[in-house]
Amino acid sequence: GTNIISGAVVPSSNAIGLHFYPIWEAASLDEWLYNGGPYQLVIFHFLIGVACYLGREWELSFRLGMRPWICVAFSAPLAAATAVFLIYPIGQGSFSDGMPLGISGTFNFMIVFQAEHNILMHPFHMLGVAGVFGGSLFSAMHGSLVTSSLVRETTETESQNY
C-alpha cells in the first residue's frame, strides 16, 4: 500500500527520455499520469520557485542596503537541487534517472547513485563534506565567541551574576 514512507512522485518514464512532457501532449490524463508527467511539472515549478526566491533574497538585501551573503549562501541548495533534478538526468539521457520525490524514493536514489558512481570516494565530494562540516564548526565557534563576549560591566553595588 501507499503510506507516508512509500508515497512518491515517480520520475518520468524512460520512453519520454529528455522530452518535455506537458499534459496536452498525452492522449489522456491516465497516460500522462502513468508516464510520470507530474514529475516534470513539479520539478520544473520547484526549480523556478527556488530560483525566484533566490532573486527575492538578493533584491531584499539590496533594497535594505545589506551585503548579498545570505543570497550567496542560499545559492548552494539551489545548485544542489538543480544538479540532482535537472543536470544529472540530462547527463544520463532521461528524466527517468531523476530523484523521486518521496522518502523511500530518495533513499533508493542515494543507494543506487552510490552503487553506480561511488560518489563517497570522489575527492570533490570529500572536500565538499569537509567544507560543510568545517563551516558548521566555525559557525558554532563564532557564535559562542560572540555570545561569550556579550558581557555587561557591573558596578560595585551590583552582583556580577545579575
pLDDT band at residue 92 under the 50/70/90 scheme: very high
Mean pLDDT (the chain) is 89
CB atoms within 10 A of CB 21: 22
The C-alpha atoms of residue 153 and residue 142 are separated, in whole angstroms, by: 22
CATH entry, 1-118, from 2.60.40.10, 1.20.1250.20, 3.40.50.300, 1.20.85.10: 1.20.85.10
Percentage of the chain modeled with pLDDT above 70 = 96
Residue identified by cell 529528455 is: 18
Residue 88 phi/psi, 5° resolution? Answer: -60, -50
Length of the chain: 162
| Band of pLDDT at residue 39, cut at 50, 70 and 90 | very high
Cell digits of residue 80: 544542489
- Asked if residue 28 lies in contact with residue 120, where contact means CB atoms within 8 angstroms, the answer is no
For 43-83, what is each residue's pLDDT tens digit? 999 999 999 999 999 999 999 999 989 999 899 999 999 99
At which residue does the C-alpha cell 560518489 appear?
119
Residues 6+ apart with CB under 8 A from 48: none
pLDDT at residue number 44: 94
The predicted structure's pLDDT at residue 147 = 85
Domain ranges, ordered by start, for the chain:
1-118, 122-162
Residue 160 has pLDDT above 80, yes or no: no
Supply the pLDDT for residue 162: 52
Question: Is residue 9 classed as helix, strand or coil in its secondary structure?
Answer: strand
> Could you read off the pLDDT of 94-132 as tens digits, one per residue?
999 999 999 998 999 999 999 999 999 999 999 999 999
User: What confidence tier does 6 reach under pLDDT thresholds 50, 70, 90?
Assistant: confident
Give the pLDDT of residue 91: 94
| pTM reported for the whole predicted model | 0.75
Measured CA to CA in angstroms, residue 150 lies from 52, 69, 121, 143, 156 at distances of 37, 24, 43, 11, 19
